[in-house]
Chain A
Amino acid sequence: MLPELGQVALILALLIAALQAALPLVGAQRGIAPWMAIARPAAYVQLLLVGLAFAILTYGFVDQDFSLRYVAENSNSLLPLAYRYTAVWGAHEGSLLLWALVLALWTAAVAHFSQRLPMPVIARVLGVMGVVSVGFLAFLIFTSNPFERLLPAVVEGRDLNPLLQDPGMIIHPPMLYFGYVGFAVPFAFAIAALLDGKVDARWLRWTRPWTNIAWAFLTVGIALGSWWAYYELGWGGWWFWDPVENASFMPWLAGAALLHSQAVTEKRGSFRGWTLLLAIATFSLSLLGTFLVRSGVLTSVHAFAADPTRGLFILIFLGIVIGGSLVLYALRAPGEEDGKSFEPYSRETLLLANNLLLSTACAMVLLGTLYPLLADALELGKISVGPPYFALLFTLLMAPLVLLLPFGPVTRWQREQVSKPLAMLLPWAGLALAAGVLAFFFAPQGSWKVAAGVVGAAWIGAGTLRFVWSRLRNPGSRFTAEMLGMTLAHLGVAVFLVGALLVEGLNVQREVAVKPGQTIEVGGYGFRFDGVEQRQGPNYKADYGTVQVFADGAPLVLMHPEKRAYASGGQVLTEAAIERGFTRDLYVALGEPLGGGAWALRVHIKPFVRWIWAGALLMMFGGLVTATDRRFRRVDTPPREVAR
């Protein structure tokens, strides 16, 4: 009976969402107070109902109710308990339910934390979020029902995709969805502003923390995905420019641009129309990402679900939401004239450059991701654009961004003499270059990449710290949470650069056939292969290898790479053994058995690889810290004039 209750809860949630969409929006347009007042309670009730449905589906997994088709297809009785909870979002239907739940959470949070906003604003915002919710709940109920019964029940379920039976995968999708869906808040505010006809700096100030939090979640979500790919796929790579990765990276880039343009619009009143458009674009890209992943229009290693009917449904929904928003934008967007004027060299100009570079990078990723589809549609054959295209263009676009980044914080709004920030930063640029030259000559290989990584990281790191120092040294100036957040995020970029470029340049990789007892030398370490034994896991059998690692002749660590064959479905998975380190990871993956006790062994030395995710974590903290700035919580006062 419980699943039927879950079904009813979803249907009721859809009705409530429709109510939350229609009444407050119409009420705000016509000034009918009781209709607007519906928005908040509707948001709370919706959260309750979607939460109930989610809890019931979770119970189905924990209780192993194989009469539910979704449960039977994505778990079996051998599945460890922890993974039964997370199997809920292991496939299409549950992922969408999670999406809907996260949206309901964000909506309720907006309803709760917006007490000081004027009623028409909040009614419109919640109304727009209601429209999005209607789309997703309808999609769930009509095309992807997680509560569909399988009668009579099967004795045993199939298993959760073994790739997803992993701690990293437990939190990756929720984080990603918190990011994706979080962008619905600035989006809803943008639409509310367009409906209202005036773009007020006050609503912008109010949305900035939401954008920052959403972006922080998306950052950590993407980083988790990358980390997971690194240790689970057994290839040792951390980013593949795969369509699904790109689908999450596009809203990230647009969101990063949005963070910066919101700051300009809030503080100076400039770029109003552009900020609105970016807010629409960022959420649209989140929806597009969902479409690309869920429709199976693009295939990738992630292609877990593909169904054309679903694709068509989301496409129509995209058309209504994005198309409608852009029509509204075209009709109602404000002119660019009303902001405070600025001169060619000013912080505004630098942030404009930031926005241009980030949006162009985003457009480049979009083009590269969809190009194979375009080629297929025009019958030019099956083409894959591949990492070389992305890596080259992305590097070209990010290089100027890295160059300009330290100038932003030390340049004043409106007007600045170029000489001042230049004088401030020039010594540090010199230092960064010197470090780069040293790195170039000392790097055993990949000199250019290593030098570029060191120069970029040292330049951003030193330039950012120079800004901090000049703020702290001057007793009259304040150091706000917003500045701290920015500093952390920019340092995160520096740390990320170290990881990304040094691992590209210095990675050492060997694939060898080894017999038990044999030792191979890789990058100054000795790896002695001590054979493979059979082990039984809860729902898999493993070939459990043992490798003794030596550094300078002394035993360093025992590593255990595995190959797991899962009981059902028969998928074989590589579990690489990773010895983590601050400056390098040792990475050992088991290949194929070659007979006579010999095995193929893949050994990597990955210098600084951990810095990639550490950098992402710093960016995430930057976003979160920025969101705590007290200034964002004031609604009534006009924007603070920036201290000159």
Chain B
Amino acid sequence: MNAGGEAKGEAGHGLHFMTVTAAAHAIAHKELSPVDLMKAHLARIEKLQPTLNAFIRLDAEGALKAAHAAEVEATAGRLRGPLHGIPVGIKDIIDVAGLPTTCHSKVLQDNVATADAVVVSKLRAAGAIVVGKLSTHEFAIGGPSFDLPWPPARNPWNPDHHPGGSSSGSGSGVAAGLFPMALGTDTGGSVRNPASSCGIVGMKASYGVVSRRGVFPLSFTLDHVGPMTRTVEDNALMLETIVGHDPLDPGSVAAPNGHYRAALDRGAKGLRIGFVRHFHEVDMPADPEMTAGLEHVMRTLQMLGADVRDVRLPSLVEFSAVNRVILQSEAWSIHREWLQKRPGDYGKLARRRLMPGAFLGAGDYVIANKRRAEMIAAVNAALAEVDVLLCASSMDPPCRIDRPAEVERTYPRQARTAFNVTGHPALAMMAGLSSSGVPLSVQFVGRFFDEASVYRVARAWEKASGMDKKHPAIG
């Protein structure tokens, strides 16, 4: 294990590894041209896309044109918002007007979006520039598949390895410096999985604080849209930009406090942290390097002055089962007609993962949702005693992408679905590097609408460990 150790994989810090916060500051102070920033990223994309397959659709021409417009505005002192001139990648289940939303599937290969999703509109209003649409597991559920119209994304820390999913291109591209921020979606952990596998920061905020309108659904009551960045501060800034009540999204809520950077640098001193050990020690015993990484994070936070104690939640195996029954039932309602008429237009993995809903009964779905209510109460009770939870994200380091049996074995070995079931805010980030040089990970979870405390503890760990300074050596 190489947690927090030497800077293995650190590369030169060109414009492509500049943070969102630093780039936005430099553009606002006329120290950086949005055109130069975009050109640096497009050059990086041209170099690495053939290896990483992060994009399904690159819109270089549109991005460059928008960067020129951003430069004119910045020169005139007219900034659209806090992300003026910053490139952003969009997972290809999220609508961008004029570009196809394929969901990485033959089923929707020619589905051109007529309007921006709400989250994309908010990013554009803040000045961000869409670079293109990013690879995903098919319909955000399939897995790394080789029987689809586009190849799967790969992990920049080692392109033979899986970048996690389903927001695969988002994780791969942010980690590799193809763009400094991306949108992903998370129904069973699909923002936090690639964040874990690619060594970046991925946040799933409280259910309902980010609009899902214009995002192709997988499971209505589990779906979240979330920011993916290389630093905690960038992530909080991006989340501040995309939150907001949407009266046309039935699950939308008004976040009581959208100032996620307010407590960012208050440190860990005095924070009460509940360590959910049984997730990775009993329920799904983790790889020893992952366990060591989690212990290292816990001890570091203790040394910084946090009060860490063990807490118990329902079994991870049951959380996972509840997630699956709900997800597969809701997903079946979405895909039923296509699966009946065009089963061959799906890849094998998506077909297998979307059809179980046909064999679940209405009673199964209601029982899962009854148990869900108890699980929400259990997590709320734990969070009444502590400020945040610390637990595993993945139980294993990312495996090779070309070994289907290993992908199938490791994919469900994770502790992320629990917080899709309950809707609590949860963030995954790098905990170190494995002996083979791929990222290890940790997850922090907070009370409903208390994303600020999640960011606070994540920032304390990042600052102490220097995880934000580690980048893959690729390119």
| Bound together | no
